[in-house]
Amino acid sequence: MTKNPLVKLIIIFVIVVVADQWTKYLALANLQLGLPVDVVGSYLRWTLAYNPGGAFGMRLGSSNAYLIISIIIFIVLCVYIYQNRRVGFIAIPLTFVSGGAVGNIIDRVRFGEVVDFIDCEFPDISLAGYEMQRWPIFNVADMAVSCGIITTILLILYQSRKEARQDAQIAGESDDTEVTSDAPKVSRD
């Protein structure tokens, strides 16, 4: 494998986009809209659906608004990834996010909405009038975006804690040095 971090990131990006588009192709070719096919009982099903909105089926604007916002986020991510391409702990998970974003952008350009097909059971949630009995139907791009964001957050938290420990250790060593250098000298005469 190449040592150039940008090439590695491009390979990851292409794998995410191809996996997303290939699985959506299979879903479109083999599933009927809204008719679930059990994979693991009712816990995991393939159910073809179209999502004109955003994450979790939220509709806060038109499909074109989501397309424009997605393109802007993708451009910002690309610039940030390029600037941090040598910082793998941040660049790699954000590359998954950008690959997922492009997978869904392709759908919005082709169909005007996003193709979803992975349908999972989830424990019922009832919170402040919001009810959810199944997880919203999603796709490989959504998984890449979600996993990339969660991984980025966890790695940033881990890295900041690691740096805080190192700073505390350095501060502790400098405190020890100061204490020994400022200590009065006792003569034994």
Of 142, 176, 182, 189, the catalytic one is 142
- What residues contact residue 86 under an 8 Å CB cut-off, 6+ apart? 5
User: Would residue 189 show up in a list of annotated catalytic residues for this protein?
Assistant: no
User: Would residue 116 show up in a list of annotated catalytic residues for this protein?
Assistant: yes
Asked if 96 contacts 147 with a C-beta cutoff of 8 angstroms, the reply is: yes
What is the phi-psi region of residue 36: left when phi exceeds 0, alpha when psi lies from -120 to 50, beta otherwise?
A: beta
For 131-141, letters b (16+ CB in 10 Å) and e give eeeeebbbbbb
Give the Cα separation of 2 and 14 in Å (integer).
16
Asked if 48 contacts 31 with a C-beta cutoff of 8 angstroms, the reply is: yes
Of 38, 116, 182, 189, the catalytic one is 116
Q: Which residues are catalytic?
A: 116, 142
